[in-house]
Chains A and B, each alone.
Chain A
Amino acid sequence: MSEGVEIRFEGLAATRQSGVRLPWRLSWRPVMPLLLAAPLLLFMLVFYALPVLSMLMRSVNDPNWTLLHYASLTGDTVFLKVFSNTLYTSLTVTAAALLLGYPVALSLVRAPRYAPVILFLVLLPFWTSVLVRSYAWMVLLGRHGLINEALLAAGVIDQPLRILNTPLATQIAMVHILLPYMVLPIANALRQIDPSLARAASGLGATPWATFRQITLPLSMPGVAAGVLLVFVLALGFYITPAMVGGTREITLSMLIAQQVDQLNWAYAATLSVLLLATALAIIAAFYRLPGVGHTLRTSAR
């Protein structure tokens, strides 16, 4: 207490001499967190947020302030086809990933003996770059790829199938790339279900199938929703994979945006970008209102 009085009377010079630094530290306390965060926030503003925002602004201020770029999209058949194609691809990929991912997640949690192997096989593609995995599907699905050679050898077909450069190739490769994003949140939700609930159900005479349908499946829904959200939103923005294995006939919104930038149609590219971003944000906002999804996303992110 007496030190505090001393400081007030003798001022800063005396404080420094006596080595009492409490007031200095107190006055810095509210500012310090801001000082720590400031370098990163400034960096992100200069090199990311302002560049992206000023690019997006060209959808309304190129060459003058106008909403015409948005209005003209309603009659734009190329845009409407690409947009619906992108949504359709994302939907089918998400549905396929859910169908394939749920059993894997279930076995990851239910078969502890094999869990390390399953986890490794799920994480191996997860850690491999998207470029490499898309290239792998080019090797597999090509005219002389593994799939065609195997089918020819087995006598199922006598002409190589055209799979590469079709929408099917894009969907197969995208499911492969996004499957881990479905498995991990579902497994995380399944792991949190109290096992005594299933025991109680079977103790009361429920068949394994009824237990699964009435206990496990409903309780795993937050994980399913989180997985569906992740896969769908990521699928919306895919660029590399469709460009590599999907051919040029059925392009995605990302590919159309890149094309427009190559032709220096900045206003059109910016308008498409705003729509892509708005679609993603709308889906995320809708899903976050579902019970339990936010929590499942946060815990499975680790």
Chain B
Amino acid sequence: MTVARVLPAMLVGLILMFLALPIVVVMVVSFSSATYLTFPPPAFGLRWYSVYFASDDWLRSTWLSLWVAASVVVLATLLGTLAAVGIARLPKALRVLASALILSPLIVPVIVVAIGIYYAFARYGLVGTPAGLIFAHTCLAVPFVVTSVNASLAGIDPRLGQAALSLGATPIGTFFQITLPLIRPGVLVGALFAFITSFDELVVALFISGSGAVTLPRRMWDDLLYQIEPTIAAVSTLTIVLTVVLMGCAHLLGKRAAA
């Protein structure tokens, strides 16, 4: 009987180790003092973090990624929230078509999206510009905003809006005073997802960032092709911490939205 209980627990423990190990290893390597990649590190230090913080290239890419992601948050959240509210009230045929367009980036393989965007953006002169990255990343981020706002909208009572309208509120007033406060957790979760989508995105960036707008993932990729020094481990650790903090916020907000 005890074997029957202990064995499955051990199995699950091993699988969970498989999940956590790579991330733990990257974090440990980032504190290595060695000049080359080795595990376990001979000694620990902050050497690779100081390399990162002293490098203009790394910092420039970091700022670009943060700046692009922040712009994507503004654009995707604004367009996505308005559209989600509108689409919920469209006639069914239109609603299906509009949702198909908006959600399709989740289904279309990212390489197809990337080369399609590259194909057109090269002609508009958007390759190698932050604007090109912002437009492309917004398309990839929007499905997350719309689904998360949609989930919030589904949870609110439509009679609240109708009541406000019948009491003389304008549609715009009703949106800002009734609907928006009710769906705020969904909007915030969508905004966080939009940020992560843009901040982590690599495949589209490989094609359209050119040499003029090298994002952080793109610089990590370029660096990996030539050397596997632990600077990337330090950068990875910093991005893991940032993403985990943001997604932790999204998880808590999501719980509050569901409650």
Contact = CB atoms under 8 A, between A and B. Distances in A.
A133 to B, nearest CB: 6
Contact of B139 (A38, A48, A121, A179): A48
B62 to A, nearest CB: 14
B217 A47 contact: no
A138 B202 contact: no
B114 to A, nearest CB: 8
Contact of B113 (A52, A122, A140): A52
Interface string B127-167: 00000000110110010001100010000000000000100
Interface stretch (A73-81, A123-131, A191-199): A123-131
B83 A40 contact: yes
Interface string A110-139: 000000001001111101111111011111
A269 B115 CA distance: 9
Interface in A37-74: 37-41, 43-45, 47-56
Given A146-B39, A149-B39, A237-B109, A135 B102 contact: no
Interface residues of A, number: 77
Contacts of A257: 111-112, 115
A249 interface: no
B19 A122 contact: yes
B43 interface: no
Contacts of A233: 107
Given A36-B83, A40-B80, A44-B102, A51 B90 contact: no
B258 interface: yes
Given A25-B171, A32-B171, A280 B37 contact: no
B83 to A, nearest CB: 4
B180 interface: no
A40 B82 CA distance: 8
A50 B171 contact: no
Contact of A36 (B9, B82, B94, B139): B82
Nearest to B83: A40
A55 B115 contact: yes
A49 B239 CA distance: 31
A54 B15 contact: no
B73 interface: no
A280 B107 contact: yes
B243 interface: yes
Given A36-B86, A127-B244, A55 B98 contact: no
Interface residues of B, number: 82
A176 B142 contact: no
B181 interface: no
B58 interface: no
Interface stretch (A5-13, A99-107, A154-162, A217-225): A99-107
Contacts of B9: 107
Is chain B's interface secondary structure helix, strand, loop, or mixed overall? Answer: helix
Contacts of A51: 116-117, 119-121
Contacts of A180: 19
A268 to B, nearest CB: 12
Given A43-B79, A121-B19, A135-B224, A301 B105 contact: no
B18 interface: yes
B228 A138 contact: yes
Contacts of B196: 127
B60 interface: no
Interface string A6-26: 000000000000000100010
B122 to A, nearest CB: 10
B134 to A, nearest CB: 10
Contact of A54 (B119, B147, B165): B119
A94 B39 CA distance: 30
A115 to B, nearest CB: 12
A121 B20 contact: yes
Interface string B238-259: 0110011001000100100010
Given A33-B89, A100-B18, A261 B23 contact: no
B192 to A, nearest CB: 11
5 contacts: A54-B119, A107-B12, A131-B202, A132-B23, A146-B25
Q: Which 5 A-B pairs have the closest CB atoms?
A: A36-B86, A237-B109, A52-B116, A51-B120, A136-B22
